[in-house]
Structure 1
Amino acid sequence: MPPLPPAFSDVLDALIPSDLRPRVDASYTAPKAVVFRINPLRAPDAAAVLTALAPLRPEPVAGVEGVFRLPADDRDALTHHPMATDGSLYIQGVASMAAVWALQPQPGEEVLDLAAAPGGKTALIAASMANQGRLAAVEPVRARFFRLKANLQRLGVRNAQLYLKDGAQVGRLVPGRFDRVLLDAPCSSEAQFTRLDPTSWAHWSPKKVRASAALQSRLLRSAADALKPGGVLIYGTCSLSPEEDECVLDALLRERDDLWPEPLPWPVDLPALPGLTAWRQQPLHPDLTLARRVLPTEWTDAFFLCRLRKRG
């Protein structure tokens, strides 16, 4: 089994405490358990969905309603099940769902998903809003935009307006408009690495990390500009590298004094570390310790999350 890229292993060495490292290392060598949520926009009766899944026996994820997991061997059966095909359930990593739980969207609000494709988080936002209010979903890549559109239709989302647009322009075009903004930023996709498939990191390099950070910075500034005073902004990536996470946030927080980190609502006991306040001898904003870096394990993908509040 081939090793992970040395430069990425160096990141793990610097980030992961020794007592947690064996579990993290093991996550790269075996298929992960599959996590899914029941979609209330298509299936208000969760019990009926679980009955229809027999003989599969999903295990509830403690702390959240309607979220379950199955062994990795059941992934194909779940993926091709009619309940997945018709949108009654949606396969989605629990750390990905946590971004929406941290956003806490409410019915009747105006919410922006600034990098929305393929639409799993967008659909969970719509479900949290009970399809009430306005949900703006932005995606700049044409093929991904149409995949987003198809997914939202399949999942029963009715309160979303979709925009084929560069998210970096949105804050300038509609400043101070949204009650809540989610930016799950395009990243170097370190959460997708697996030693079972070396092509999972074929695109990755320290140069890719730096390029991702530059794009993330532009999008984060746009997200902050689009947010109403008093509003909530969630910044997330599926990358472990601090250059894409705390360092991007640190640059924004040092530029402007109308944003500050807040504690994350955290309903699930996810394996996570506090955000860093220094990296590679560079001091970072002290309140970034309120962010969380979800660790890759046998059932979770790597993810980084930070919640920001805009001064009212």
Structure 2
Amino acid sequence: MDKTTPEQKGLPADFVERLRRIVPQPAFSPILESFSLPKTTTFRVNPLKSDAQTLQSELLKAGLHPQPVDWLPGAFRLPTEEKRLLTETDAFYEGRLYIQNLSSMLAPLLLAPQPRERILDLAAAPGGKTLMMAGIMEDRGWISAVEPVSDRFHRLRRNLENAGTAIVHTYRKDGRGVGRACPLQFDRVLLDAPCSSEAKFRSAEPRTFAYWSLRKIRESQKLQKRLILSAWQSLKPGGTLLYSTCSFAPEENEAVVDFLLTKASQEAVLLPVDLPISNTMEGLTEWGKRHFSSELRLSRRILPDGEMDGFFLAKIRKRP
């Protein structure tokens, strides 16, 4: 049994105890340890400006040692100590690569947008997933990228401009109103929802969890429920919604998806989340006194390690 106290790990005691109840017991200690490990740097090529082989050759000439990720073409990992040098390369400044955790790359991969489709990214900043979708679509089609917060919106715009995409259209709007304004307009919707950001906690950096609390989780859930209803309203019949967060909290994950399944019980079908990795677990079907639809087993949590952050993914189809 794990004897580590929350104080020894430097994380909030309530968070550690909740985590113990969420993840499989054999995985608990390694997961807790992951919050104090330096993460491997991962990034991907921007196919609108380069290709994997050309980018790798360019970085090798710059003295870096990128290694391809075998399950995700165009993605690379780099020793942690080389991250600073990576951020000083022309490839970084000129938008030929984008630094991003592998967990975050899974959401666009699963949503699988196609050229010429209309896509909605409902909480888009800083734009990494938006740009990945534009690349998958070969920069053909339409992506509406929505972000309400001013500084995040302008960062999103800068990242999009640097990457050279022409199909992303940005809107500084509250995502909760998009469904009413644009009903049944999008083939696919990505909602990487604002959350308590538990997967971003770092034991040695108290600022990463300074504002975390059970109240924060409840506040996040209220926003997430309104956003997922808006996302659903904007989705065409036959379309697909990908819901994700970087939180472990069932209140922000299974409970929100279960809320949608209940509200749209005649339309919503939860699809299997098939992933090319092994560090995952099924979605929960109960939490405390709450019981969720048995379909929630089809959702997935990414279990964090020295490379990947924690993440939650659920894929929902709207019946034709």
TM-score, normalised to structure 1's length?
0.97
Give the drift of 1:3.
Answer: 2.0
State the distance in 2 between where 1:135 and 1:59 align. 31
Closer/same/farther in 2, CA of residues 279 and 181 from structure 1, 3 Å limit? same
Alignment of structure 1 residues 1-150 onto 2, 5 Å: 3-44=10-51, 46-54=52-60, 55-150=63-158
Aligned length: 310
2:177 aligns with one of 143, 164, 169: 169
Which of 260, 273, 276 matches 1:264? 273
Which stretch of structure 1 is more off in the superposition, 73-82 or 83-92? 73-82
Query: Counterparts of 1:185 and 1:158 in 2: how far apart (Å)?
Result: 24
CA RMSD of aligned residues (A): 1.1
Write the letter of the residue equivalent to 1:37. R
Large movers: runs of 4+ above 3 Å: none
CA distance in 1, matches of 2:156, 2:96: 17
CA contact (8 A) 1:233 1:309 kept: yes
Q: Which runs of 5+ in 2 are unaligned?
A: 1-7
1:157 to 165, 181, 184: 165
Is the Cα–Cα contact under 8 Å of residues 35 and 93 in structure 1 kept in the other structure? yes
* Aligned match of 1:281: 289
Q: Deviations over 1:115-159 (max 9, x none)?
A: 000000000010011110111100111111111111001011110
How many angstroms apart in 2 are the aligned matches of 1:25 and 1:75? Answer: 24
Report the Cα distance in structure 1 between the residues aligned to 2:182 and 2:114, rounded to whole angstroms. 20
1:47-80 superposed Cα distances (whole Å, 9 cap, x missing partner):
2211121222112112221111112222212122
Separation of aligned partners in 1, 2:79 and 2:287: 36
Instruction: Give the gaps of 5 or more residues in structure 1.
Output: none
In structure 2, which of residues 230, 241, 246 is the aligned counterpart of residue 233 of structure 1?
A: 241
Cα separation, 2, equivalents of 1:81 and 1:270: 33
Once residues 212 and 20 of structure 1 are traced to their aligned partners in structure 2, the CA distance between those partners, rounded to angstroms, is: 26
Task: Using the TM superposition, give the Cα deviation of residue 278 of structure 1 relative to its aligned residue in structure 2, in angstroms.
Answer: 0.7
d(CA) in 2 for partners of 1:96, 1:255: 28
- Tell me the equivalent position of 2:190: 182
Cα separation, 1, equivalents of 2:158 and 2:97: 15
Deviation at 1:9, TM superposition (A): 0.4
SS in 1 for 2:48: coil
| Alignment TM-score, normalising by the size of structure 2 | 0.94
The 3 A distance-change label for structure 1 pair 162 and 270 is farther
The equivalences for 1:237-248 within 5 A come to: 237-248=245-256
SS of the residue corresponding to residue 300 of structure 1 reads coil
Identify the range of structure 1 (128-137 vs 79-88) with the bigger mean alpha-carbon deviation.
Answer: 79-88
| Structure 1 counterpart of 2:273, one-letter code | L
Question: 2: CA distance between counterparts of 1:277 and 1:77?
Answer: 45
Match for 1:252: what amino acid? L
Preserved contact between residue 35 and residue 201 of structure 2 (Cα < 8 Å): yes
The alpha-carbon deviation at position 31 of structure 1 amounts to: 1.1
Percent of aligned positions that are identical = 44
1:176 Cα offset (Å)? 0.6
Report the Cα distance in structure 1 between the residues aligned to 2:216 and 2:229, rounded to whole angstroms: 20
Q: Retained in 2: the 8 A contact 1:101–1:265? A: no
Q: Is the 8 A contact 1:111 1:180 kept in 2?
A: yes
The code of the aligned residue for 2:26 comes to D
Indicate the SS of the match to 2:26: coil
